[in-house]
Structure 1
Amino acid sequence: MSFTIRTALAGATALSLPFTGTPALAAEEAPGDYLPSDIVVTGLRDGYSSADGSTATKTPTPLIDVPQTVSIITEDQFDDQAITHLQDALRYVPGVTLDTGEGHRDQVFIRGQATTADFYLDGLRDDAQYQRPLYNVARIEVLKGSNALIFGRGGGGGVINRVSKTADPVAAFAGFDADVDTFGAFALAADLNQPLAAGVAGRLNATYEEFDNARDFFEGRFIGISPTVRADLGERTRVTAFYTYDDDRRITDRGNPSLNGGPLKGYDRTFFGDPDFNLAETRAHIARLRLDHDLTDSLSVNLTGQFADYTLFYANVVPSSATATTATLSGYTSGTDRQGRIVQGNLVWGGATGPVRHTLLAGFEAGRQDTDADRTLIDFGGGAQTVIVALARRLAVPSAVAGPLSRSTSSQLDFVSGYIQDQVEFGPVQLIAGVRYDEFSLDSVNNFGNLALSRTDRKWSPRAGVVFKPAEELSLYASYATSFLPQSGDQFTVLDTTTAGLEPEKFRNLEIGAKYALTPGLFATAALFRLDRSNTRAADPLNPGFTVLTGESRVEGFEASLVGRIRPNWQASLGYTYLDGEIREATTSAPAGRRLQQLPRHQASAWTRYDVSDRFGLGLGAVYQSKQFASVSNAVTLPSYVRFDAAAFFELNERISLQVNAENLFDANYYPSAHGDNNIQPGDPFNVRFGVRVKL
């Protein structure tokens, strides 16, 4: 049986390609290696544009046919920007704002919804609290809007998925990168691929980095090793094995306090901590095995198992308030050991019933996550848990040590889910509809008092969308999707007597939009959306001391982007988002009418590269954010800012290229992120990074 899929790979968009069977189990790199990729490959392109929408559907679907906003950052783009970690790459994504993450983890707001856990690696959950590197990543995908059918719990504002580099059984290659900046930070990286036998290949990505910036005392280092092996067992079967070891050690920098409703000025380089105490350490092991098999020409199955082991620790002295002459500091330590096991399977069928074409998905996901977490108080001497110090260029902070244990918890999370989805196509109209069932069981023990509590939530999550294509290169869509978040929060470490008795929070995303392939390598999108969050905890007005689920918030907005090659030697990634969000019904943290935290009304980004010749190119970028509140208290405002970046690229020959990146070109003073009202991170001043790339 044959049917048609419209696709384009790595910068080509929306071309009709007939296929029977799965000839593309062959050699493309990232886009289809972690999901079914039954696509005829006619060539790969470099650039900033990608048309693979398979992550959003778990089926081989071109991005133009996905009724959802998806932002993609390709490896070419973050290489051109000299970016090595996820948080920095997300600065250029419209609709995403950054949290400081307490100086030790990735934490973002997507469409106004905060998350520390909605991070994925090759479509599988990677939700521990740490900072994620890019040395082994082929691209980053940011999928906007709630969609539990594909991803399960959480993801109220969206999710962030990293696609791994994979082994190529056809070509041997080697690449080496090195760079250093004017602060003294440097990075070394290697990318080695080697065919080992017919249809078998191994690839190794590795990196070593040392951190530095303008902040006093900040330093650290990162070691990453990521081998992968791919084996094509005949024309219909492929097995891929992945392993990643990440080892991160850095000073924990919690930023600066606020004063008079804004960031404390004049102390952007001052470290509000104890450099001998403030330390964050991460060790992450992630192992994954995936099987892809074509049962028939129109029916395929994939099965993936993942084991992840995280050891996380951070200690910090943290600013809690300031006056014109003093700062108050407190602190704590926190440690987490987590092991997670996930198995996911998908069955994908493509065929027709009369004139109607179908892409049918049926799948399941199950897993267990065990977490032990503890926290200690701080001791500045004599049992003092806070200290007031005089403001100065360098603070005189008393030596801090870990104090008594203040929290110790153990939890076991078990989850199982099943889902089904059908993508129906007849003429210029496509429909997508499906539903997911999740059973989510959490058992936790608070070791203080030996309080053991359990809760099981069972939820149905529907998704529906319609796509109308008046022309092959244009799609108009509308969609509805939901998600949920258990009241224990996105890290699920412990239940208390309140959260154990409450239903999960609910998210509902409504969206209409358009996608247009202006050329095969230039993709434009625009969308209007409304995201409602309900079942948020609020104080019971009739029974003081009790909690009810009446809190609500809403975010409405508009998003537009243009990504790809404007001309053969000119490519760009442009984006704009308008966001308006507020508390509609009072929550335990804010009354109705408050604007949501870290939700700038206007956000724009632009990055462009122009190749003057075959050997010389120039890059220019800018990020703009209007003012935003540091927290839902609406008491502290982060001012609006514009930051400009620039780059120059020069190829010495076919194998060696040089690169210079200037960050914050005009040395703007700005405050891009916060974690509450008194952990505000100043942006780095002007900095230049020099790099060299070698390809063999």
Structure 2
Amino acid sequence: MRRNTKIPRSLRSAARSTGPAVALGMSTVMLMPLGALAQTTSSGGTLNEVKVQATRIDPNPNAEVGVPYKAKSSGDARHTRPLAETPQTISVITADAIKDSGQTDLAQILLATPGVTLGVGENGNMFGDNYFIRGQAAKSDIFVDGLRDPGMNTRESFAIEQVEITKGPNSSFAGRGSSGGAVNAVTKQATLDYDFNRASIGFGTDKFQRHTVDLNRAVNDNLAVRINALWADQDVPDRSPSSRERKGLAVSGLLEVSKDLSVTLDYYGLRASNPYYDAGGWLTGTAGNRVPGTVMPPHAQDADFMKSDSDTATARVQWKISPVLSLDSRTRFGRTKNAYAFSTGNYSTTAHDGSNAGTNPATTGAAVIDEVHSRWQDVKYFAHQDSLRWDTDLGNGRKNEFVATFEYSDHRVDQGAYIATNSNAANCKTTAGVGANNAYCMTTFGPDGTITPLANIQSLKGVSWAKNGQNYDWNIKTVALSAMDTMDFTDRFTGFAGVRLDRILKFNAQTMNATTGAVTGDYEYKKTLANFWGGLSYKLTPQGMVYLGYGTGQDINGGEPDSGTNPGYGGLVTSTLDGNLNSKPETTRNFELGTKWNLLNQKLLATAAVFRTEKSDVMEGVSQAEGAQIGTLNTGGYRVQGVEFGLVGNVTDNLTVQAGAAFMKSKITKSNASLSNGTGRLNIGQRLGNFADQTFNVQAKYQFTQAFSFGAIARHESYRCGGQPDTAAAYSTTGTGAAATVAVSCTQRVPGFTVYDLFASYRINKNFMVRGTVLNVADKDYYTGAYRSGKWLTIGDKRRVMASLEMDF
């Protein structure tokens, strides 16, 4: 690493201080004032000892000094106080924690956060990164550097400094949606403080390769450029030929016009591809006793795929207008193209080889390729945000920090599907009687009970995919104004308050015939959303405080563009009973009582919070018998409540941890949607679909020697029941049809899991370090998401062993 001749801004004020230690990331430099040095030299005395700890500098401006897993502040400037003083649960995963974990895609990284789970797609909503925060869908509540990052695209970590997960309704900060919280990725930015050249070369089992470069160069005293690049390729463990390919480039340029004015320009591009995309497994057995199938061969066909192309350009201006007034202005244009086409599998108890012309023998049954799923989606978006911060002194050292924000966004989504053509003939039947084969079986029938996968399953159908025409056009334009204030009433009492108004200038959704292009539905409306966030904190000691917080979130009918007119997944509800768009916003309210303790010289943060979230005016889908695309407006409601604990930082000088646990319960409080008897009364009192009551994670690293460290990770999720967001999980009942009265058991039960990982690193010298990781050490079968009928389950990765060489020069 080459130091610039220019004094780093982080050291400029320190050089004028009285000589305390100044730390940058993991590096500590003991400084002596120049005056003291001259005085000591002229008197002929002995110079004080200067200690330099030669460790790596962390360029993340939000990092806690010398604590690799702990962030001190949020990347969102509207949070004006440190995270330890903010009256809200905000989990932060730093770049060091991500690197130690061995995870790379954002979906995998978020699974290490308590209260966060993953969902699955279907024909009514897109497959892709599908997150749930405290049981509520958050797939559209992803932000990058404070600006919404829409689209169901794959997200990677190669250009990320830290990931922030805000728990609880967050519309005062995030705008529409964010009913369970929001995710904000803080990206790596160019810096003038120092130059560095970093690279990593990694290999592993299942053809794993991952190579990254991170370069920062100060061209002169006012201009710096940072480049991050990625090339990665890997087979999915035990699911070959399914694989994942990632190619990424992020370029950041910083121009410091003056000490008070800077301009940053960024470009981010990612090409993510999953050839032979694997939909996973399925549930078998009878209702109430269903379990994941034991024979689930990889069944992706030769032409099956999932891919995501992302390109964004961002401009940021930071201007310190006066000592108490500053402006942060951000503008972004982005485009993503997301597409997939693949087949899913299932088990049929009636499948047979076609030789039987009558009733199927009892020994029949085979795994079959069940359904096809496809979607293409083109997303274009523009966003501009201005935040003006005004700091004042209320007297006696009491601070007041006021932030006013203006935001405009224009977000458009075009989408359609693919047409599948099979060149190979079907090889089995799933119905009795005379007739042609109607299915593709991928296992033998085994009269002795043995089930064996066929050879060359990937070529079984001979499928090819052709892009079909557009069937949905979605566009929303929004202007928003918000005001946030943080005020110290006394030395111990601090108040936090914020209000935001989002005016939907235009919402337009059109459905159309994919073949002819004829418009079949045209929906428009305008809405104004008002949301509030506030809290009161009290410092018990300089290290600890208690707080009470309240926040709201709102979303509009049709707020999830990937779901089309499917009401079960947040799509546009076109109700024949209540009118197409005559609806109120869905509203979420959250109460939180918590405490935070910044311990051990601010190196360890311990948190605890009890919360209660209530959602009302929920749009609901009706039963399949009444029509899959029909719903009801503002008829649903539910509640999620629980307690969450967190611990992050250095427990000792050598032991670093990041740990958290969430214990939650969900309950449907109001419903008009039916389970099986045409009424909503069976839903009321049931849990949410795809909701895990318990989640926890522990990531711990021990610095055994100055060069060698090792650690372990444990992740746990309790069982869940398959179902749609905002809807009760699927349950069996004591009767059928109109006689069904009591829901007695979950029909699509997905087992809970605990998975363990190991990691270690050894620093050879100041320029080279080797790192080793073993993911899923026990090679455990586990599942991270389930479709509402249990037809497919997302399989978690089996064991993978990786090693990398990291270079810093």
Asked if these proteins are the same fold (TM beyond 0.5), I'd say: yes
Separation (CA, whole Å) in 1 of partners of 2:163 and 2:467: 41
Higher strand share: 1
Corresponding residue number in structure 2 for 1:267:
295
Report the more deviating stretch, 207-216 or 668-677. Answer: 668-677
Tell me if the contact between 1:11 and 1:521 (Cα under 8 Å) persists in the aligned partners.
Answer: no
Q: CA deviation at 1:585?
A: 1.3
Q: Which residue of 1 aligns with 2:241?
A: 217
Asked if 1:695 is matched to 2:808, the reply is yes
Work out whether residues 11 and 45 of structure 1, in 8 Å CA contact, stay in contact via their aligned partners in 2. Answer: yes
1:494-573 equivalences in 2 (<5 Å): 495=572, 497-498=574-575, 499-519=580-600, 520-538=602-620, 547-573=632-658
One-letter amino acid matched to 1:618: F
Larger Cα-atom Rg: 2
Q: Is the 8 A contact 1:187 1:209 kept in 2?
A: yes
Matches within 5 A, 1:578-589: 578-588=663-673
Sequence identity percentage = 23
User: d(CA) in 2 for partners of 1:156 and 1:319?
Assistant: 33
The 5 Å alignment of 1:34-183 reads 44-53=65-74, 55=76, 58-100=78-120, 105-183=128-206
- Which residue of the partner structure matches residue 679 of structure 1? 792
Offset of residue 365 of structure 1: 0.7
Determine the C-alpha separation between the residues in 1 that align with 2:710 and 2:620: 53
Aligned 1:589-608 pairs, distance under 5 A: 591-608=683-700
Which of residues 512, 517, 522 in structure 2 aligns to 1:447? 512
**Structure 2 CA distance, aligned partners of 1:285 and 1:271?**
32
Helix, strand or coil for the counterpart of 1:254?
A: coil
Quote how far apart the aligned CAs of 1:429 are: 0.6
Residue deviations 1:477-506, cap 9 Å, x none? 111111111120322756564353322211
After superposition, what is the alpha-carbon deviation per residue over 1:568-618, rounded to whole angstroms, capped at 9, x for unaligned? 111011111101102121253652122112222221111111011011111
- Partner Cα distance (2:93, 2:249) in 1: 22
How high is the TM-score relative to the length of structure 2? 0.78
Q: 2:701 aligns with which of 565, 589, 609?
A: 609
Q: 1:9 to 1:469 in 2, by over 3 A?
A: farther
Are residue 292 (structure 1) and residue 318 (structure 2) matched? yes
Cα contact 1:576–1:603 (8 A) shared by 2: yes
2:434 corresponds in structure 1 to none
The separation in 1 between residues aligned to 2:92 and 2:469, in whole angstroms, is 42
Indicate the residue corresponding to 1:3 in structure 2.
none
Contact 2:242 2:300 in 1 (8 A): no
Letter in 1 for 2:603: G
User: Are residues 1:242 and 2:260 paired?
Assistant: no
Matched, 1:489 2:559: yes
Which residue matches 2:331? 305
Question: Do structure 1's residue 411 and structure 2's residue 500 form an aligned pair?
Answer: no
Return the alpha-carbon distance in structure 2 between the equivalents of residues 479 and 496 of structure 1. 32
- Cα 1:10–1:524 change in 2 (3 A) is farther
1:641 aligns with 2:704: no
CA distance in 2, matches of 1:614, 1:425: 42
- Measured after TM superposition, the shift of residue 560 of structure 1 is 0.2
Q: Residue 6 of structure 2 corresponds to which residue in structure 1?
A: none
CA contact (8 A) 2:384 2:407 kept: yes
Contact 1:277 1:317 (8 Å CA) reproduced: no
Instruction: Report the TM-score when normalising by structure 1.
Output: 0.90
Instruction: Write the distance in 1 (CA, Å) between the matches of 2:453 and 2:585.
Output: 47
Distance 1:538 1:369, change over 3 A: closer
Q: CA RMSD in A?
A: 2.6
| Aligned CA distance change for structure 1 residues 563 and 589 (closer, same or farther; 3 Å) | farther
Distance 1:390 1:206, change over 3 A: closer
Is the 8 Å Cα contact of residues 54 and 63 (structure 1) preserved in structure 2?
no
Cα 1:104–1:210 change in 2 (3 A) is farther
Moved more, 436-445 or 546-555: 546-555
Residues 298 and 349, structure 1, Cα contact 8 Å, conserved in 2: yes
Code of the residue aligned with 1:61 in structure 2: it is: R
Following TM superposition, by how much is the alpha carbon of 1:405 offset from its aligned partner in structure 2, in angstroms? 4.4
Which has the larger displacement, 586-595 or 410-419? 586-595
**Contact 2:153 2:336 (C-alpha < 8 Å) held by counterparts:** no
Q: 1 CA distance for matches of 2:198 and 2:558? A: 44
Instruction: Check the 8 A contact 1:141/1:161 in 2, yes or no.
Output: yes
**2:690 match: secondary structure:** coil
Query: Partners of 2:438 and 2:208 in 1: how far apart?
Result: 33
Give, in angstroms, the shift of residue 412 of structure 1.
2.1
Per the alignment, residue 335 of structure 1 pairs with 376
Using the TM superposition, give the Cα deviation of residue 660 of structure 1 relative to its aligned residue in structure 2, in angstroms: 1.0
Among 228, 250, 253, the residue aligned to 2:252: 228
Partner residue in 2 for 1:257: 282
Which residue does 1:463 correspond to in 2?
533
Structure 2 CA distance for aligned equivalents of residues 302 and 586 of structure 1: 44
Match of 1:24 in 2: none
User: 1-side partners of 2:557 and 2:763: how far apart?
Assistant: 54
| 326 and 672 in structure 1: CA distance in 2 versus 1, 3 angstrom threshold | same
Contact 2:440 2:461 in 1 (8 A): no
User: Which SS does the other structure have where 2:645 is aligned?
Assistant: strand
Equivalent residues, number? 661
Q: Secondary structure at the match of 1:233?
A: strand
CA distance in 1, matches of 2:127, 2:691: 22
Q: Deviation at 1:347? A: 0.6
- Unmatched 5+ residue regions in structure 1? 1-7, 13-26, 33-40
2:410 partner letter: R
Q: Distance between the aligned counterparts of 1:88 and 1:600, measured in 2?
A: 17
My pick for the range that moved more, 298-307 or 425-434, is 425-434
Alpha-carbon distance change, 413 to 429 in structure 1, aligned in 2, over 3 angstroms: same
Which amino acid counterpart does residue 53 of structure 1 have in structure 2?
Answer: S
1:433 alignment partner in structure 2: 497
SS in 2 for 1:409: strand
Give the superposition deviation at 1:354.
4.1
1:435 partner letter: V
Contact kept, 8 Å, 1:380 with 1:386, in 2: the verdict is no
Task: Please give the per-residue CA displacement for 1:19-49, whole angstroms capped at 9, x wherever unaligned.
Answer: xxxxxxxx984446xxxxxxxx9x9435101
Q: Does structure 2 retain, via aligned residues, the 8 Å contact 1:192–1:205?
A: yes
The residue number in structure 1 matching 2:213 is: 190
C-alpha distance in 2 between matches for 1:63 and 1:461 = 22
d(CA) in 1 for partners of 2:470 and 2:685? 34
Taking the aligned partners of 1:118 and 1:548, their CA distance within structure 2 comes to 22
The 1:370/1:403 distance shift into structure 2, 3 A limit, reads: same
How far apart are 1:518 and its partner, in Å? 1.6
**Residue identity in the other structure for 2:406:** F
Structure 1 position 653, deviation (Å): 0.9
Q: Is the 8 A contact 2:700 2:712 kept in 1?
A: yes
CA offset digits 1:209-258 (Å, max 9, x no partner): 00212203212311100010011111111111110011112132211121
Tell me the SS of whatever aligns to 2:782: coil
- SS at 2:109's partner residue? helix
SS class of match (1:528): strand
Aligned partners of 1:457 and 1:381: how far apart in 2? 50
Any idea what SS the aligned residue of 1:417 has?
A: strand
Change (3 A) 1:222 1:553: same
Distance change >3 Å, CA 115–CA 318, structure 1 → 2: farther
Which AA in structure 2 matches 1:273?
Answer: A
